């Protein structure tokens, strides 16, 4: 697998990778791919979109730390089928009560189980498919969401990364 040679314009951003995917058949935009997260996370408020309740959760006593280092209690684990590109995989999501901008977070658990390689630099996600036969596998390249937020939501981020941009 080879990514293209990054241009200066391509290298001049610090954007995270957001993708659109299906969780148990329901389309979700703004799914954050975070190679620094050990587990997959789903905010409790997203359970309504999946027609699920806390009764569907497997109990757990696990706590996780947030982006800011705060300890967050998990309410349980929810098993969901994740469809990204042509690949489907069953994953465990830890349910947390937070007000994050992402609809779900896919961490290293997802990356390793599904054989995905993500590149924040290229804003791409590449997946390897291996058939159960002796034939060689193949790669599929998916582009990240180019505008996961409304333009007004990006103003503060652009201003933060580029001091020449005014509000």
CA torsion angle 127 29 32 60 (round to 10): -100
Instruction: Please tell me the distance from the alpha carbon of residue 59 to that of residue 48, in angstroms, as a whole number.
Output: 19
pTM over 0.85: no
* Residue 154 confidence (pLDDT): 47
* Residue 131 confidence (pLDDT): 67
* Residue 66 confidence (pLDDT): 73
* Residue 162 confidence (pLDDT): 56
Q: Which CATH architecture has domain 14-161?
A: Beta Barrel (2.40)
How much of the chain is helix, strand and coil, in % rounded to 5?
15, 40, 45
* Residue 31 confidence (pLDDT): 92
* Residue 7 confidence (pLDDT): 75
* Residue 148 confidence (pLDDT): 73
Ranges of residues in the chain with a pLDDT under 50 are: 154-156, 158-159
Instruction: Please tell me the distance from the alpha carbon of residue 84 to that of residue 164, in angstroms, as a whole number.
Output: 37
* Residue 126 confidence (pLDDT): 87
* Residue 12 confidence (pLDDT): 76
- DSSP assignment of 64-95 equals EE-TTS-EEEEEEEEEEEEEETTEEEEEEEEE
Bridge-partner residues for 143, per DSSP?
124
| Cα distances (Å, whole numbers) of residue 57 to 95, 103, 125 | 8, 18, 29
| Phi/psi of residue 98, nearest 5 degrees | -145, 170
* Residue 155 confidence (pLDDT): 47
């Amino acid at each position: 697998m080879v990514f293209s040679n990054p241009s200066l314009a391509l290298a001049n951003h610090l954007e995270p990778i957001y993708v659109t995917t299906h969780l148990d058949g329901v389309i979700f935009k703004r799914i954050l791919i975070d190679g620094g997260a050990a587990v997959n996370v789903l905010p409790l408020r997203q359970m309504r979109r999946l027609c699920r309740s806390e009764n569907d959760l497997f109990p757990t006593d696990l706590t996780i730390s947030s982006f800011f280092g705060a300890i967050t209690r998990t309410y349980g684990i929810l098993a969901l089928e994740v469809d990204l590109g042509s690949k489907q995989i069953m994953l465990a999501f830890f349910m947390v009560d937070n007000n994050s901008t992402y609809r779900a977070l896919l961490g290293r658990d997802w990356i390793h189980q599904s054989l995905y390689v993500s590149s924040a630099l290229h804003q791409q996600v590449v997946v390897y498919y291996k058939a159960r036969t002796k034939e060689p596998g193949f790669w599929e390249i998916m582009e990240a969401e180019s505008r996961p937020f409304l333009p007004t939501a990006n103003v503060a981020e652009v201003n933060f990364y580029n001091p020449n941009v005014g509000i």
